Amino acid sequence: MTEHRTTANHRTDIRIDDLRAPRRDAAEQQLYDAALSMQVDLDPDVLAAAARRRTGLEEFDDPTLLDRLRAQVDAVESDAGLSGMGRFLVRQRLVGLLAARLRLDDFVRRFPEVLEVELEAPVVVVGLPRSGTTHLVNLLATDERFRSMPWWEVQQPVPVWGDGPGADGVDPRYVRALREWEVTKEVSPLTSLMHDRPPWSIEEECELLDLDLCTYVLEWSARVPAWRDHAEGLDQHAHYRFLRRALQVLSFLRGPNRWVLKCPQHLERLGPLMAAFPDATVAFTLRDPVAVLASALTMLAYGDRNRRLEIEADDLADYWVDRIERLLRAGARDLHLVPDDRRIDVEFGEFMADDVAMAERIVTMAGLEVTDGCRAGLQRYVAEHPRGRDGRVVYDLRADFGLEPAELYERFAFHLDAHPTIRREVDR
């Protein structure tokens, strides 16, 4: 159930007022009932077998991958609140990751020369989720001197052998991603207002990195503290070397070789990131963490309407307040690993006030000239993607999650004190 109101500037504000206890219409109730009744097997051996059948391939180049698969499945099995739909979405994701990994490993065996591809110094966007990272990476990706990763490619990085473009010249991976996007918009229409993923949008390499089953992406689908703790003990340097290898594959398939990247989880993995990409220019997005929580929790709770038996808003809030703090404290601990002359802070309010100017500063710091073509691309993207053009979801931490903004500001004082330019966005 949502409330819509039009503001003076004709923008529609949308308030989802039933996050804690969803009120469903007949169609939504039918979908929820189906979600409850689904029976989904998450046995790791069954998942690996499904990926092998899908691809016709057998060999993973890293035998420890299946150990991480078991750790993820064990964590999901401990989440008694997932509905059958929630379990199905986890299964679909894991089988897709395993299939994509089989294809990537097979590609490297067929074309070992991909490992000789030289990657130029990347630009990496790092910051909390919901802090403007997606807008910034999409803006920078308009510069054709950069290589970026659209969502259709993230989902299936390596093409299926023999699955070439159709008569219209369109990559079938794009067609499949478009179909899934259209279904998502129909089933979960407000998700696109919070984080839209059309096939052409530029997404994060966290998804590519997760072909090594090592990221926090699972935490967005289930309550899996056991996986969070397990992942903290992994050798992330090895996983970031895998990421570099995967980027070599994608650059081999189509250039150029200078990447613009972004992933919020880099905040707690700055050491492995800089070891893998020592010449990177890093743009840190800085946004009020309380506003970040309001946005992230609302998006997660809305997505939980079908993937969980109950929303459990208080537990959700507790988990992600802690998770955001972990990201921020790890980032503060390791910030010194990024050289000052290759680091730029992107304060959210300043960025929103003049996003083109901020993008130009980053391009310049990366050692590139802001050409007429570069500036035109930036300006065109901003003109075609006005903020809130389709409406804006508004948030209420107290009503929806029982959180007091003043208490959260006290908890995150260590971060706000370290970055005094951050503008507070939530009324206390």
Domain residue ranges in the chain = 2-418
CATH topology of domain 2-418: Rossmann fold (3.40.50)
pLDDT of residue 188: 65
CB neighbours (10 Å) of residue 424?
A: 14
pLDDT of residue 167: 66
Query: Could you give the CA distance from residue 4 to residue 221 in angstroms, rounded to a whole number?
Result: 27
Could you give the angle at the alpha carbon of 243 between the alpha carbons of 241 and 244, nearest 5°? 65
Strands of 12-16's sheet in order across: 2-6, 12-16, 392-394
Q: Are 412 and 328 in contact (CB under 8 A)?
A: yes
Helices vs. strands in the chain: H and E counts, helices first:
20, 7
Q: Divide the 428 residues of the chain into consecutive groups of 10 and give the mean pLDDT of each group.
A: 48 86 89 88 98 96 97 98 94 97 97 97 97 94 95 90 72 84 71 68 92 97 98 97 97 94 97 98 98 95 92 96 98 97 96 96 97 96 82 89 97 97 90
Burial annotation 339-376 (CB, 10 A radius, 16+ → b, else e): eeebbbebbbeebeeebeebbbebbebbebeeeeebbe
pLDDT of residue 197: 75
Could you give the angle at the alpha carbon of 129 between the alpha carbons of 261 and 79, nearest 5°? 115
Give me the percent of the chain exceeding a pLDDT of 70: 93
pLDDT of residue 50: 98
pLDDT of residue 64: 97
Model-level pTM greater than 0.85? yes
> pLDDT digits over 335-344, tens only?
999 999 999 9
Phi-psi region of 402 (alpha: psi -120 to 50; beta: other; left: phi over 0): left
> pLDDT digits over 42-65, tens only?
999 999 999 999 999 999 999 999
pLDDT of residue 390: 66
Using DSSP, state whether 102 is helix, strand or coil.
helix
